């Protein structure tokens, strides 16, 4: 155990310095108008540490929100894969992971901020625990400062380094006040965890995402996390409970802001935002949820088609078209001659009757008569 303990201490050493440095910085500022040896200045220093850590985690929170939204949007496709490859679990797993990769999401991304906070949480717990039990400091927290922290009391009555289990009435050092404060903080920590997860599932998840593996994962987080924190919270020092409760309040408020102002489409939060925007006059008719813009085809022009006018012809052209072939000029005496069907002789060839019609007039005469230079 000594070997693994040394490895753990080596890995946690950077966190010891970071956490103790931020906490001592807040303590120096608060000591300007509060008792530096009092528990209130140390409790507020822990709250300040929590705020700094949560501000640094905002980019991860944004990534978490995007990942959760992508997971919600691909749930219908996940259900299709389950129906298609339900008999082959290996193929189903491969296709599901491929879908997650194409969508740029991960089913465990929603736990990322929580997982990254766990090392910070354990480092803070280790610092406070060692200060309370051994009066030994970690990181920038010296032994003298650790002793001041271990002996500090909030309002002169609540030791900040005590826990519910250490102050139990059936233990060696009973303290009812510490037990009551610790129980209140544990309940607050558990309730904020449950409320945060509950408002995500009830307001910002579409109906398609309420079933399937993703919904099962969210339900597990909804009930298991509060239970875990509630059971383990009795062993946490009051200072650690301040950290975790403050962090949960930050998460709940941050999520409430995102759900209210940028909800996922097709959710109850989205419909509520639409109603608010409509009441303020910020919503156009085409922006209502579920409305689909329909492109109307242009109305067909039902006016009658324009009648094509015949080409204008001269009087000579009209007469040439209406005159029988036997009365037309043979074309002698110039370039305006018209060739006959009989060859070079001047007599015109008789027209062949067509479709039982008699007569020599062609159906579409294309004969023209040009004016001669010397007159007729």
Residues 6+ away with beta carbon under 8 Å from 128: 149, 160, 161, 237, 239, 240
* 53 within 8 A of 120, measured Cβ to Cβ: yes
* Band of pLDDT at residue 204, cut at 50, 70 and 90: confident
d(CA 277, CA 80): 35
pLDDT confidence of residue 27: 94
* 162 within 8 A of 178, measured Cβ to Cβ: yes
pLDDT at 222 over 70: yes
pLDDT confidence of residue 224: 85
* pLDDT, average across residues 272-285: 79
Least confident among 121-135, 251-265, 295-309: 295-309
* Band of pLDDT at residue 4, cut at 50, 70 and 90: low
Work out whether the CA dihedral 36, 37, 38, 40 comes out positive or negative.
positive
Residues 6+ away with beta carbon under 8 Å from 254: 54, 61
* Band of pLDDT at residue 322, cut at 50, 70 and 90: low
pLDDT confidence of residue 340: 39
Higher local confidence (pLDDT), 287 or 66:
66
| 319, 323, 327, 331 alpha-carbon torsion, rounded to 10° | 50
Helix axes 75-84, 58-73, angle to 10 degrees: 50
Here the tokens at position 363 are 């159906």
Q: Report which of 155, 171, 165 is spatially closest to residue 132, judged by C-alpha positions.
A: 165
* pLDDT, average across residues 119-134: 83
pLDDT confidence of residue 3: 65
- The SS3 assignment for 153 reads strand
pLDDT confidence of residue 298: 47
Higher local confidence (pLDDT), 346 or 36:
36
Q: How far is CA 311 from CA 287, 317, 321, 362, 364, in A?
A: 57, 11, 14, 19, 14
d(CA 349, CA 341): 6
Higher local confidence (pLDDT), 227 or 208:
227
Least confident among 4-13, 250-259, 318-327: 318-327
* pLDDT, average across residues 221-227: 83
pLDDT at 236 over 60: yes
d(CA 147, CA 134): 8
* pLDDT, average across residues 78-86: 81
d(CA 353, CA 362): 9
């Amino acid at each position: 155990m000594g070997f693994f303990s040394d490895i753990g201490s080596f890995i946690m050493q950077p966190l010891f310095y970071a956490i103790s440095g931020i906490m001592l910085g807040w303590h120096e500022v608060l000591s300007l108008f509060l008792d530096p040896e009092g528990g209130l200045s140390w409790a507020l220093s822990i709250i300040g540490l929590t705020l700094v850590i949560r501000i640094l985690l905002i980019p991860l929170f944004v990534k978490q929100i995007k990942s959760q939204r992508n997971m919600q949007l691909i749930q219908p496709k996940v259900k299709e894969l389950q129906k298609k490859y339900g008999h082959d679990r290996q193929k189903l797993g491969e296709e599901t992971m491929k879908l997650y990769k194409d969508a740029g999401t991960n089913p465990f991304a929603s736990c990322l901020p929580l997982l990254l906070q766990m090392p910070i949480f354990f480092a803070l717990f280790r610092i406070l625990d060692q200060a309370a039990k051994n009066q030994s400091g970690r990181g920038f927290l010296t032994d003298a400062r650790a002793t001041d922290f271990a002996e500090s009391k909030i309002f002169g009555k609540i030791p900040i380094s005590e826990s519910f289990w250490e102050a139990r009435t059936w233990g060696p050092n009973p303290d009812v006040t510490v037990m009551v404060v610790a129980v209140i903080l544990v309940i607050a920590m558990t309730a904020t965890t449950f409320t945060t997860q509950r408002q995500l599932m009830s307001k910002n998840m579409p109906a398609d995402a309420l079933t399937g593996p993703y919904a099962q994962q969210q339900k597990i987080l909804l009930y298991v996390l509060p239970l875990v924190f509630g059971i383990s919270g009795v062993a946490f020092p009051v200072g650690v409970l301040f950290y975790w409760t403050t962090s949960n309040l930050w998460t709940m408020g941050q999520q409430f802001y995102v759900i209210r102002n940028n909800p996922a489409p097709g959710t109850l939060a989205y419909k509520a935002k639409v109603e608010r925007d409509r009441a303020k006059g910020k919503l156009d008719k085409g922006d209502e949820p579920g409305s689909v813009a329909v492109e109307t085809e242009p109305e067909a022009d039902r006016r009658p088609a324009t009648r094509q006018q015949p080409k204008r012809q001269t009087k000579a052209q009209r007469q040439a078209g209406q005159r029988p072939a036997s009365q037309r000029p043979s074309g002698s005496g110039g370039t305006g001659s018209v060739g006959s069907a009989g060859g070079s002789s001047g007599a015109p060839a008789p027209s062949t009757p067509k479709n039982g019609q008699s007569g020599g007039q062609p159906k579409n005469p294309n004969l023209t008569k040009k004016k001669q230079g010397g007159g007729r």
